[in-house]
Structure 1
Amino acid sequence: MKDIMNPTQNSEEENKLTIERRKKLDYIRKNSIVNGHPNDFRRDSFASDLKIKFSKKTKEELEELNHRVAIAGRIMAKRGPFLVIREMSDDIQVYTTKSIQKKLKKKYQNLDIGDIIGIKGVLNKSRRGDLYVSVENCFLLTKSLRPLPEKFYGLTDQETRYRQRYVDLIINKNSRRTFRIRSKLIAAIRSFMLSKDYIEVETPTMQVVPGGATARPFTTHHNALNMDMYLRIAPELYLKRLVVGGFERVFEIGRNFRNEGLSPYHNPEFTMIEFYQAYSDYKDLMLLTENMLSSIAIQVLGSTSIRYGTTTIELGGTYAQMSMFEAIKLYNQDHIEIQNLVRKDLQNHKLMISIAKLVCLHTEEQWTCGQILEKIFSETTESQLIQPTFITNYPAEISPLARKNDKDSFFSDRFELFIGGYEIANGFSELNDAEDQDLRFKKQHLDKQNTESNETINCYDKDYITALEYGLPPTAGQGIGIDRLTMLFTNTKTIRDVILFPSMRAVTKA
């Protein structure tokens, strides 16, 4: 069986078909006053609306009704006198009589699969109960010069699906469903936040100082200002400036950019919602998140129970909560050394290194106890957190913008939400002590100088410190990955399937 999406196997055949179609277009141009691309057809009906309104009527009732429609779409199949037309809402069939077929052959040298046409005709129903439009007039609106993938095999090659998303969307109903759900998901989140008195704002995408997360930024240059700038890795520091300014509840939905690797859960540019709420702490945001996810699940999918892989995930109700340390112990029952750990052991550097080696993890000499703990958690525990679970008590050493816990300064007042085995959200009580934040920024900058040599980027944001000195009220903030949430809502295993145009390696010519 040949691979119909392999360009080396199919180029000759496709070239022949393309040549034939170009000849048809040349014929149409010579016999058309609009150069073969008319723009005066207007539809008045969508397939889904017609099916909702008329599907229950009998063939006899439709014939008596004599309801005329104007529809438009792409030819997806030819079945004798029937054509299957696909438009944004659904597919619908149209019926062409022999007289109409003769006219189409004379005018267009016959229509091809992939052509975009406009149809005027009468709505009818087959003996099998399928709605169709009996064609009175047919107009070729755009000639498709390239053949679509054969219907039986479809577009299955992943690389082609991502590089030519337009073809993927034409062929694959599942892809169209995924991106409709994504759109509805974003709309539902926005509606939820507005209902909670949040203000939607926009902050700079190009920044002089990249901050708000630990990541390598993309670098660009502003010619007019003659200065290097960076695509933002997070909008956090600007959003908190707005809280200082009196916008006590703010959110932004937008793109972030991190110059890092690719994985099923990572893309260099991705979409997040970040929001900040004054006079709140991280526990308030955990409750808000439970309410948000259950609300949007009902709005988008009609239920709080969703299928992910072979598991049913419940987004309603109260989510499980446990500290990072508790989670590590729970999911490493077979390691007696981990079971014997007590809280104070987490600050024993030598012991933590030995625990990491026990679970076959490589550590760097300069790693802190907090970094080692987080690495043990990510490698041994994350993937087992399938039902919604808030993980709390993150080490302060890996949370430079979070408030330290008042009872134990080794930890921060921070949580991450895991669903389906991966992180969905990250939130914490914000650090609003200007002097503490100043010291953390300086330490972070020094650490980068010691580990990254000439790749160091100055992440010390003096203006943000100035903003804190004016006074940031007690505030909690959170980020939720829209792409990963879409993966969950669409039962998808790779982030590339939920981003319309994911980052791809350049195509190299042989």
Structure 2
Amino acid sequence: MNESEATSELLRLRREKLAAWRSRGVDPFGHAFPGTQPIEKILEDFTEGREARLAGRLLSIREMGKSIFAHVQDANSKIQVYANVQSVGERFADLKLLDLGDIVGIDGECFRTKTGEKTVRIRSFVLLSKSLRPLPSKWHGLHDVEARYRQRYLDLIMNPEVREVFRKRIRIVREIRRFLEERGFLEVETPMMQPVPGGAAATPFSTFHEALGIPLYLRIAPELYLKRLLVGGFEKIFELNRNFRNEGISRKHNPEFTMLEAYWAYADYSRMAELLESLICHLARTVCGTLRLPSPGGGFPPIDLTPPWPRKRFADCLREATGTDWFALSPGERRKRAGALGVELHPEAEDIDVTRHTFEKLVEARTAGPLFVTHLPTELVPLARQNRDDASVVDVFELIIGGQEIAPGYSELNDPIVQRERLEHQAGQERQKIDEEFLTAIEYGMPPAGGIGMGIDRLTMLMAGKDSIREVILFPLLRPKETL
């Protein structure tokens, strides 16, 4: 019997058991089962003879003559359960109709086996949901990586460590809110569908609103709307937002991702760096219990977040990485030098793209961090304030940890005239991509402000010691199975 035939046979047997339950007058997709105790709590407060009421999924069943041992798992823990003819009477035969994966409700009492294992002796049970498909007998992550992402529900059932990653992500988001709210920041919401995609240089997803008869775009960033709120008088705001960029997929990129953006009126990029450092250290202590995080892979050692974190200018980073004064070179010399150092460049890449890719390849990808890289070229960051002493750079930072950018931070540009010039230069001939409503808003006066944008997915990768963004997104975007 081949694998397909074996699977078909297992499915047939489960359907037969489904019919058997119904023939006994049992609804195999049962009813509510209130009053359950978390298994974790039962184990913590375990006392022999104590009553227990629990519900969960059967992960193992061992029939031993006139007794049955099994393990039941709920959201956080699992426990052994036991039954024999004396404990459940005539319903003992019904236990033999249960399969791995079935969800059951159990009433019983606590006792310890001869080996000392904490166990619940079943007095009564109810089938709450019949599993019509068998659970995978083996679920080796690396061997079934595509299946794990595609069938995340099975991944969560079979791999407790995967559930822990997503609990960690949930705690990270909760603690971000708590941290910022305690410092006077207000959480706001801005549109996810926008008439003009702005706030970043990225390709948007487009849609169309039938009633209004207008094209719309899923947002690539909330920045321009959040700055409207600064104009309106909100001084400390943040948004935990979903962004969408119609671009490639990699271990660091998913087309749909989560960001924190925060703005603080009358602050600057340096103040935002201090805020971000405090926030990430707080998250590490609270969520991970330590400032020393596991290796993010890529040959990096464990990451030590002990503050203060160093700061280094962008030009100095490139000088060290390329062995030359990068910005003293001509555009042609920069391209030639980048190629000699193994940086792959598109033949039509502009000079600023040569600089960006060289930095990403030779500095960002090789920096364990944490490191604040400051004073980036003006052309790279059109929404940031120009440095007072050096017009070629802007007052910004990029926080690098584990070989990837975790968060940029700006002294925000609030000069509407300069802002228009920069956006027009960035848009080139595509004037329709300029958000005129945003420019009108800041002409009314936007206070000087600092801003940060932090990728929640990448931060979770760091905190969980994962080297792929798909490991920290419950349902990452995948190619349709039929096209594989």
- Please classify the TM superposition score into its range, dividing by the shorter chain length: over 0.9
Return the letter of the residue paired with 1:36.
Answer: P
Q: What pairs up with 1:298-337 in 2 under 5 angstroms? A: 298-308=285-295, 309=297, 311-330=301-320, 332=321
CA distance in 1, matches of 2:129, 2:345: 59
The one of 346, 354, 360 aligned to 2:342 = 360
CA positional deviation for 1:368: 4.9
Partner of 2:294: helix, strand, or coil? strand
CA distance in 2, matches of 1:457, 1:111: 65
Q: Is the 8 A contact 1:104 1:110 kept in 2?
A: no
CA distance in 1, matches of 2:247, 2:196: 18
Partner of 2:302: helix, strand, or coil? strand
Residue 172 to residue 219, structure 1, CA distance change in 2 (3 Å): same
Residue 299 to residue 283, structure 1, CA distance change in 2 (3 Å): same
CA positional deviation for 1:85: 0.5
Q: Is the 8 A contact 1:149 1:155 kept in 2?
A: no
CA positional deviation for 1:210: 0.2
CA distance in 2, matches of 1:474, 1:281: 8
How many residue pairs were aligned?
477
Identity of aligned pairs, percent? 40
CA distance in 1, matches of 2:483, 2:331: 51
Return the letter of the residue paired with 1:79.
Answer: R
CA positional deviation for 1:211: 0.3
Q: Is the 8 A contact 1:74 1:87 kept in 2?
A: yes
Q: Is the 8 A contact 1:93 1:132 kept in 2?
A: yes
Q: Is the 8 A contact 2:318 2:326 kept in 1?
A: no
**1:45 pairs with 2:45:** no
Q: What pairs up with 1:155-170 in 2 under 5 angstroms? A: 156-170=143-157
Task: Please name the residue that 2:426 is paired with.
Answer: 444
Q: Is the 8 A contact 2:370 2:400 kept in 1?
A: yes
RMSD over aligned Cα atoms: 2.1
Q: Is the 8 A contact 1:42 1:70 kept in 2?
A: no
CA positional deviation for 1:107: 3.6
State which drifts further: 128-137 or 470-479: 128-137
CA distance in 2, matches of 1:402, 1:155: 42
The one of 251, 257, 266 aligned to 2:253 = 266
The one of 22, 26, 31 aligned to 2:24 = 31
Residue 340 to residue 170, structure 1, CA distance change in 2 (3 Å): closer
The one of 243, 247, 253 aligned to 2:240 = 253
Partner of 1:263: helix, strand, or coil? coil
What do the CA deviations read for 1:30-72 (whole angstroms, capped 9, x no partner)?
3226x32221422431111122223xxxxxxx34xx2101000
CA distance in 2, matches of 1:159, 1:141: 30
**1:73 pairs with 2:47:** no
CA distance in 2, matches of 1:430, 1:154: 44
State which drifts further: 260-269 or 79-88: 79-88
Return the letter of the residue paired with 1:70.
Answer: R
TM-score by length of 1: 0.89
Partner of 1:508: helix, strand, or coil? helix
Task: Please name the residue that 2:264 is paired with.
Answer: 277
Return the letter of the residue paired with 1:17.
Answer: L
Task: Please name the residue that 2:460 is paired with.
Answer: 486
- 5+ long unaligned stretches in structure 1: 1-7, 55-61, 333-337, 450-455
TM-score by length of 2: 0.94
**1:339 pairs with 2:323:** yes
Q: Is the 8 A contact 2:139 2:158 kept in 1?
A: no
- 5+ long unaligned stretches in structure 2: none
Q: Is the 8 A contact 1:272 1:480 kept in 2?
A: yes
CA distance in 1, matches of 2:447, 2:173: 29
Q: Is the 8 A contact 2:57 2:101 kept in 1?
A: yes
